Structure 1
Amino acid sequence: MLQSSHDNVTCNAMTVDVEDYFQVSAFERHIDRADWESLACRIEGNMQRILALFDRHKIKATFFVLGWMAERYPAMIRSLHDNGHEVASHGYEHVRVVNQTPREFREDVERTRMLLEDTIGAPVIGYRAASYSIGRNNLWALDELEETGHLYSSSIYPIRHDSYGMPEAPRFAFRHRDGAGLLEIPVTTVEIAGKNYPCGGGGYFRLLPYAVSRWAINRVNQHDGQSAIFYFHPWEIDPRQPRQQGIGIKTRLRHYLNLSRMEPRLARLLKDFHWDRVDRIFLAREDRPQ
C-alpha cells in the first residue's frame, strides 16, 4: 500500500489536465484548431479558483499541461512549479495519439517537454495522452516516451468506452514491456463482479452521486491497498463557459452536465481523502531527477 508519511493512511494522486473548453476532443469536429486564437480563453480564472481550492486544503497536485497553454500563459505555468505542484506534459495541442504516426508523436512530445522545461526551469518527467488515447494498438507510444526522457505516463484507462479504453490493461501502475519499460499509471477503476468501472474523475464524477465516488475510492484504498489517481479539467468548474451549438445530445450531456456542482464536490473529495503529486506517490526517490 502507498501511504502518506505522517499519518499512515493511503495517499492518492490528484491531477488536472490543463486545457480549455474549446480544446476537448469531443469538440474536434465543431471547433477548428485554427480558430483557437480567436476564442475567449477562460483558463486563467479557472486555474486561480483551482489553486485557491488546493491551497485551502493544503494539497499539491500534478498538472498535465498543453504546450499550447504554456506558450501563451508562461507565468501561470511557472506559478504551478513555484508553488510546489508538479508540471507534466499533456502534448502540444491535444491531438489524440491514435491520430499520430510514431514520428509525429515523438516530435510532439519532444517539443512539449522542451517548452515546459524552458518555462519552469526544471525537468518534466510525466505525460498524459489526450483523451487517454494510448491503448492496445499503439503501445509503441510508451517506448517513444521512455526514449524521449519521460519517466512515467498516465495515458491508459482500463475500461470499455466508445472513444477510448483498454479494459484488459492492469488496473494499477505497471511497467511496460514485461516490467522493463516506462511506468504507466492508469486512471483508477473499481472492480465489481469482474468488470472495471471508472472512478477516477471526469464526467463520471459529475454524473454519479458523490457517494459513489467516495465509496469506490475507499474500496481501492482499503480493499485493493492501492493509491487512486484522479483527474479533472479546469473547464469542469466553469458553468459560465460559452456553449457550443450543433453538438449531439450525448456530447452535450457529457460536457455540460453538473458543471455547477463540480467545485463543491471537489472540495468534499479533497477533504475526505489524502492527496499529493503523481511523482511523489508513484516514483521511487532514486528514479526522480535531483
Structure 2
Amino acid sequence: MVLLSFDIEEFDMPFEYGKDISFTDQIAISRTGTIAILDLLDKHQVIATFFCTVTFAENIPDLIERITRSGHELASHGYYHSDFKPEHLLQSKLKLEELSGKEITGYRMARMMPVDEQEIEKAGYTYNTSINPTYLPGRYNNFNISRTYFTKDNVLQIPASVSPMIRFPLFWLSFHNLPLGIYKSLASWTYKKDKYLNIYFHPWEFTYLDDFERFGFPGYVRKNTGNKMIQRMNNLIEWMKSKNYPFGTFQEFIKAIKK
C-alpha cells in the first residue's frame, strides 16, 4: 500500500532562512498548494492522508470539508507549526475533530522532530509517524530506529520510508532533487522489500518558490517546485498505478496489518 501524505500547515519555512512572511501569505500559499494537491488526487481517484495544523485548518474550512468529503484521512500536525508544547497534542486532536467532524487518530510532529510516545498515547492517538529513520546532517540521526513500523508505548510508530540497506530517504527533498527514474527505482526497491511506502510532501512545494529574495531558499529546496512539482507528482502517481500499487490512508493501512 502507498501511504501518500501531505503536511498542510501555515507556510512558515522562510523564517528558517532569515526571511519574513506575513501570516496572510503563509495561509494563501499553502492554500493554493493544497488545492493543487486535491485536484491531482481527484484526477487520479487516489486517497491520501493530510496532517494538518489547527492554525491552518481554522483558515481553510472549505478545504477541510473537501478533504473529508473526498475520503481522505485528516490527522494532526500539531496546533501550530513553529511552536510545540505537550498539551498541544490533545488540544490539536480535539480541535481538528471539532472542525472536521471526524475522529483524529494519527499524529506527525512538525519537521519530523522527536516527540514523547507516552504523551502521544495519553493524548489518545493510535499511531505516530514523526520518524525519518535516516541520517541527515543537522536534522536527523536515526540509524538506530527501525526502518519499518513497530509499536512503542502502545502507539504504532510508522516511520517515513527509506530504502533498504543504505537507508536513502524517499521524502519530499529527495523527490525534488533526484532524477525521477532514480527516485522510482528506489521507491520500487523499498516497496518490494517492505510491501508499503510512506512518503510525504507539503502544499507549498506545489507553488512557485523560485523567488530567492522573497523566500531565501537554496537551490535544492526550490528545485522542481510549482508546475514542475505538479507534473512530477502526476507522473509518479501514474507510474504507481501502472505498477498496481494500491493507495490508502494510514487508518486503512493499520486495519490491513492487523488482520
Q: Normalising to structure 1: TM-score of the pair? A: 0.79
1:171 maps onto 2:147 in alignment: yes
1:213 to 183, 190, 194: 183
1:197 maps onto 2:168 in alignment: yes
2:159 to 181, 186, 206: 186
1:261 maps onto 2:228 in alignment: yes
2:237 to 270, 274, 278: 270
The residue type paired with residue 160 of structure 1 is Y
CA distance in structure 2 between the partners assigned to 1:163 and 1:225 by the alignment: 25
CA distance in structure 2 between the partners assigned to 1:196 and 1:205 by the alignment: 15
Q: Secondary structure at the match of 1:281?
A: helix
Match of residue 123 from structure 2: 148
Q: Secondary structure at the match of 2:135?
A: coil
Q: Secondary structure at the match of 2:168?
A: strand
1:41 maps onto 2:28 in alignment: yes
CA distance in structure 1 between the partners assigned to 2:257 and 2:139 by the alignment: 35
Of 267-276 and 227-236, the range deviating more from structure 2: 267-276
Over residues 85-135 of structure 1, what are the superposed CA-to-partner deviations in whole Å (9 max), with x where a residue is unaligned? 000000111137xxx5xxx22x1112211111001111100111111101x
Match of residue 90 from structure 1: 77
Match of residue 227 from structure 1: 196
Q: Post-superposition shift, 1:149? A: 0.7
Percent identity reads 25
**8 Å Cα contact 2:113/2:130 also seen in 1:** yes
CA distance in structure 2 between the partners assigned to 1:208 and 1:170 by the alignment: 24
Q: Post-superposition shift, 1:286? A: 7.7
CA-based RMSD of the aligned residues comes to 2.4
The alignment covers a number of residue pairs equal to 252
1:23 maps onto 2:12 in alignment: yes
Q: Post-superposition shift, 1:155? A: 0.3
Shift in alpha-carbon separation, 1:220–1:95, aligned structure 2, 3 A = same
Question: Which consecutive residues of structure 2, in runs of 5 or more, have no partner in the other structure?
Answer: none
Shift in alpha-carbon separation, 1:119–1:160, aligned structure 2, 3 A = same
**8 Å Cα contact 2:17/2:215 also seen in 1:** no
Q: Post-superposition shift, 1:212? A: 1.4
Match of residue 132 from structure 2: 157
Q: Secondary structure at the match of 1:276?
A: coil
CA distance in structure 2 between the partners assigned to 1:131 and 1:18 by the alignment: 12
Question: Which consecutive residues of structure 1, in runs of 5 or more, have no partner in the other structure?
Answer: 1-10
1:120 to 67, 84, 100: 100
Q: Secondary structure at the match of 1:64?
A: strand
Q: Secondary structure at the match of 1:84?
A: coil
Of 213-222 and 252-261, the range deviating more from structure 2: 252-261
CA distance in structure 1 between the partners assigned to 2:55 and 2:20 by the alignment: 15
Please identify runs of 4+ aligned residues in structure 1 that moved more than 6 A. none
